[in-house]
Amino acid sequence: MHQGTRRTPSIILPASLAAAICAVGFAGHARLSVRPQDAAPASTPPIVAPAPAWPTDDAGLQTLATKVISNWFDALSRGDGAAIEAQLLPCAQLVAFDGVTDRALSVARVKDSATHGVQVSNVVATRVGDALVTTCLVRAQQKVGGADLSGEAPRIGVWVPFDGGWKIAAWASLQQPSPRPAPAAPTFAGETALAAEGSAMLTRFLDAQRAKDLKPFEKMLAPGLQVVNFKGQKTRADLMQGASHATTEPAKLNDVRTTRCGELTIVTCNLSMQQKIGFTTLPADPAPFLAVFSGTGDAATVIALGNTNRPK
């Protein structure tokens, strides 16, 4: 397992960079199976696209993270719905200030948004099993749904190797207008049983944090865990320190959506959970929340968290 915490200077993403990224060759085998509707006819041997190979050191891991993030924002800047769709797994969930979207809705939103002048800095990459977890700071001129999101804020993304490339399983942006509006409920359907499973996993995690049950809580945190919240980009150690000092009210999970991407369980919701950290108070107002687990049930560990709540 590799963990990279080196920082990169700001980079401005030209459109030509995406083409260079796509031209990179890889070797290996895909770990996720294709959907039945995408499979070849029974009479034809299935064709499995070579999966990208993992870097062998931390420097390579950070280079990879920088490339996939650059490719993502290049597609956003061009408003290229096809390129966005090609980078998202069918099970992907994306979190923004106004709520949660799935793959289809996220592609549709690209056509109604405008993103320009993207600058990415402070790229941090970790590997957790077969997941690439990245955080970064992004400065851009952006409008979504008529709201001006210009400025700088952290992002978190989880990529997995699939079908010859790196695909996004989860993404969260903390860029938001001021004042922050109440999030809408997701309009895409979710599986009831899977949503209940994800809700139970997230509730168990948040309850351990609230009770300051630190040993079980720490066991739920995967090595390489990354977090973005109102304080910026955080690590496993930061989360443990916060849990030991914060006073947390019981959590209420609204509009839970759970999807499964291979070994990953993606759980999103509009979370109501007041926290007091020193002299800072996070309100109990519902705010979009992302948790990515590796595994299921009591054995699952958290590899990525995106909390869009912030002080008023």
Q: Which of 119, 139, 173 delimits the end of a domain?
A: 173
Query: Is residue 222 domain-shared with residue 116, that is, in the same domain?
Result: no
Query: Is residue 250 domain-shared with residue 290, that is, in the same domain?
Result: yes
Sequence-ordered list of residues with C-beta below 8 angstroms from that of 175, at least 6 positions apart, any chain: 96, 97, 138, 140, 142, 149, 151, 153, 155
Domain count, the chain: 2
Query: Is residue 153 domain-shared with residue 59, that is, in the same domain?
Result: yes
Query: Is residue 268 domain-shared with residue 201, that is, in the same domain?
Result: yes
Residue 187 lies in a domain: no
Quote the pLDDT of residue 142: 80
Q: Can you state the angle between helices 58-78 and 15-22, rounded to 10 degrees? A: 130
Query: Which letter, b or e, does each residue of 83-117 get, where b requires 16 or more Cβ atoms within 10 Å of its Cβ?
Result: bbbebbbbbbbbbbbbbbbbbeebbebbeeeebee
Residue 178 lies in a domain: no
Residue 83 lies in a domain: yes
Of 19 and 254, more confident: 254
Q: Which residue has the tokens 């499973």?
A: 197
Give the model confidence (pLDDT) of 19-30 as tens digits.
Answer: 333 333 333 333
Angle at 159 between CA 158 and CA 163, to 5 degrees: 155
- Between CA 11 and CA 102 the distance in angstroms is 28
pLDDT at 281 over 80: yes
pLDDT at 243 over 80: yes
Residue 294 contacts residue 263 (beta carbons within 8 Å): yes
Residue 258 contacts residue 197 (beta carbons within 8 Å): yes
- Whether pTM exceeds 0.75: yes
**CATH code of the domain containing 240:** 3.10.450.50
Distances 258 to 84, 182, 248 between C-alpha atoms, Å? 21, 21, 24
Give the model confidence (pLDDT) of 149-174 as tens digits.
Answer: 778 999 999 999 998 899 999 999 99
Confidence of residue 35 (pLDDT cuts 50, 70, 90): very low
Enclosing domain of residue 272: 192-307
Residue 246 lies in a domain: yes
Give the model confidence (pLDDT) of 79-99 as tens digits.
Answer: 888 999 999 999 999 999 999
Residue 180 lies in a domain: no
Residue 12 lies in a domain: yes
Residue 285 contacts residue 309 (beta carbons within 8 Å): yes
Query: Is residue 13 domain-shared with residue 162, that is, in the same domain?
Result: yes
pLDDT at 43 over 70: no
Query: Is residue 129 domain-shared with residue 219, that is, in the same domain?
Result: no
Query: Is residue 162 domain-shared with residue 19, that is, in the same domain?
Result: yes
Residue 184 lies in a domain: no
